[in-house]
Structure 1
């Protein structure tokens, strides 16, 4: 029995090409398990768990490329060990991987290293892109909940002592913690002011 597994890293990517390739390799559509929007460096993938659980001794797990299965050599080796122990074979793009064959093992390790290298490159490019965006002022991090004028108004009302922190939070549509932070920044004591009666 053939069990297929397909994965793409982002929700924008399409799995059609992988599904078609797996079907062409003999996997029935209802035996294809997928992960959409999950990276190969994340081992906790529901589709992968289901695919591995569906494999029985004598079955073959089929992937179009090794990097669809794992983006780290360690993960790839661990998955193959699990499959081997369960008596399940691995088919990578139509080539059956034999863990007992030295040449097969070498090719598998090379493919695993390439997948890991590509993953490292993606991470590096992402970090560099964020650095450039930050330098150009496009990446500002978490934006404050209140504009400076709103925060000044909130502090003014707090000082007047006519509103509780809960009322101020509701008035400005923020959490009470935002009220307390604004008050602390203004150098006011972080306590709920007594409401003036009269």
Structure 2
């Protein structure tokens, strides 16, 4: 029985493209029909159909090929689970052309070090994102979702609604908002007696 190369590619958002990873996997010797993908799923999400298919496709002696370790796993526990599964199946892992044998102690050590680096990078990205949001909030640039209508428009919506001359649908159409927006505006505006 001959050994096969099975590829796996992943992008985190639906706006990203898998073409570069597919091309690199082809260059590394993986045929197009043996490339499994996940689109719009983060590496921290372990329930990835494409990854599950790739892991199911590899057999004893095969090689799972990825372009970078962070495409496979973004946390150390996840990486360990995957490497454990590959070890049980006697499957090698190729990261960008560099082959690691998980049954070999040095290969296992290298994989764990790479997994720790991938997790560290992921933690850094999260920390920088939080930091950037705090700075933006402090400067008043991060205000959340802006209201659809100005305060004057909201007051007009309330007066029309409470006047009883117009239906909610008519008011919503007049201001170009959904009926639920009209209801929310009316609910949060106190009644003056």
Give the aligned length.
189
Partner of 1:90: 93
For normalisation by structure 2, the TM-score amounts to: 0.82
C-alpha distance after superposition, 1:132-155 (max 9, x if no partner): 222233322111122212111111
- Aligned with 2:116 (options 113, 129, 132): 113
Aligned mates of 1:29, 1:118 — CA distance in 2: 29
C-alpha distance after superposition, 1:24-48 (max 9, x if no partner): 3321133222334443222233432
Q: CA deviation at 1:14?
A: 5.1
Please tell me the root mean square deviation across aligned C-alpha atoms, in Å.
2.5
Partner of 1:63: 66
Partner of 1:181: 184
Unaligned runs of 5+ in 1: 190-198
Q: CA deviation at 1:128?
A: 1.4
C-alpha distance after superposition, 1:85-127 (max 9, x if no partner): 3443322233333333322222111110000000000111111
1:157 lines up with 2:145 in the alignment: no
Unaligned runs of 5+ in 2: none
- Aligned with 1:29 (options 22, 32, 40): 32
